[in-house]
Amino acid sequence: MNRRLIQLNTQYHAITTRLFLEERQAMPQEQRVLDQRNRLLARRNQVRDSQLVFLLQALAPLEQVDAPTTTADQRTNTHNDAMQRAHVRSLALNAMARATCLAEVFRHAEMQLDGLQESAAPCERILKLQRLMQCYRTLAATTVGSDK
């Protein structure tokens, strides 16, 4: 869809430039190209937004996971705080184990990220997706590290 849009963008810009310079309205053939581009752009944005919403919702449980603390940070915390963090982390790991599709959603997000960025997805949503993906990477690394 993006490739077709790139092709139409070239025609769109040529037509709109010509219309501006000639100070006239589009002829029917030109208008069809303009309309086609607008329809494709709207459809692309709709698909992009639905993909992004799906990914954000599927990865949303990762927002509840705290970032791992360093050894120095752990020394400054009380024993109860450490136990509470361990409990929360354990709950998150159990939730990940139950949600077997999370790894698949993460891989899908990795494959879709560039396309979402290229299609001018809202920056705040892209940043949130990247943050959730980083949470997944961190949690996956912690899980692998705790298996040793």
Q: Which residue shows structure tokens 């136990």? A: 83
Rounded Cα–Cα distance for residues 75 and 82 (Å): 9
- Which range marks the domain in which residue 95 is found? 2-60+76-146
**Residue 29 resides in a domain:** yes
Q: How many domains does the chain have?
A: 1
From residue 66, give the alpha-carbon distance in Å to each of 81, 107, 143: 12, 22, 13
Per 3-state DSSP, the chain is made up of helix, strand and coil in percentages (nearest 5) of: 85, 0, 15
**Residue 81 resides in a domain:** yes
For the chain, report the end-to-end CA distance as a whole number of angstroms.
45
Q: What is the pTM of this model?
A: 0.67
**Residue 66 resides in a domain:** no
**Residue 6 resides in a domain:** yes
Task: Name the nearest CA neighbour of 63 among 100, 87, 84, 88.
Answer: 88
Residues 51-91 have pLDDT tens digits of 999 999 999 888 876 555 555 555 555 667 777 777 777 77
**Residue 69 resides in a domain:** no
**Residue 70 resides in a domain:** no
Tokens in use for 123?
A: 């920056």
**Residue 65 resides in a domain:** no
Task: Give the pLDDT confidence score for residue 96 in this predicted structure.
Answer: 58
**Residue 110 resides in a domain:** yes
Residues 100-146 have pLDDT tens digits of 678 889 999 999 999 999 888 999 999 999 999 998 888 877 766 55
Report the alpha-carbon angle 25-27-30, nearest 5.
Answer: 105
